[in-house]
Amino acid sequence: MMKINIVSAIFSLLVIGFTISCANGQGKPNDIKTQLTKNPGKVIDVRTLDEWNEGHYSKAIHADWYNGDFQKLAETLDKNENIYLYCRSGGRSGSATDYLKKRGFKNVYNLGGYSNFKGID
């Protein structure tokens, strides 16, 4: 009986972890492409200029999280528009997502890292 409870608990944690990662909007390129097609909005790359210059999604707006460009851009965004954010691995875009949500933005999605965009353009 104890083994069943432990297995059940582990399974539940795995399901919760998967659900949380999906809820954060981090997904595969096909999922991202579908989401952007069905629910268009602004895609914002919050990486540094050097990272941007190495490659970026062609329809993205560049607004560096570290140097304050993103915070300035945020003042001009429509709080009801779909806003999609990405960076190198999902950390900065996660911070940018939280930043916007705390300021009343309703439809903000963290798309994770730039590698998720490979093959979308």
Looking at the domain assignment, is residue 72 inside a domain? Answer: yes
Looking at the domain assignment, is residue 10 inside a domain? Answer: no
Looking at the domain assignment, is residue 16 inside a domain? Answer: no
Looking at the domain assignment, is residue 11 inside a domain? Answer: no
Q: Do 117 and 53 meet the contact criterion of CB atoms below 8 Å apart?
A: no
The reported pLDDT for the residue numbered 117 is 80
Q: Which two tokens stand for residue 40?
A: 């268009």
Give the pLDDT confidence of 92-115 residue by residue, as tens digits.
999 999 999 999 999 999 999 999
Looking at the domain assignment, is residue 13 inside a domain? Answer: no
Domain CATH for 30: 3.40.250.10
Give the pLDDT confidence of 34-71 residue by residue, as tens digits.
999 999 999 999 999 999 999 999 999 999 999 999 99
The residue length of the chain stands at 121
Residue type, 18: F
Looking at the domain assignment, is residue 20 inside a domain? Answer: no
What are the start-end ranges of the E strands in the chain?
Answer: 42-45, 60-62, 83-87, 108-113
Looking at the domain assignment, is residue 91 inside a domain? Answer: yes
Looking at the domain assignment, is residue 70 inside a domain? Answer: yes
What secondary structure letter does DSSP report for 26?
A: -
Domain that holds residue 88: 26-117
pTM attached to this predicted model: 0.76
Q: Dmax over Cα atoms in the chain, in whole Å? A: 58
Name every residue whose Cβ is closer than 8 Å to that of residue 20 and which is 6 or more positions away in sequence.
none
More confident residue, 36 or 9: 36
Q: Tally the domains of the chain.
A: 1
Q: Which two tokens stand for residue 9?
A: 């608990």
How far apart CA 47 and CA 30 sit, in angstroms, is 22
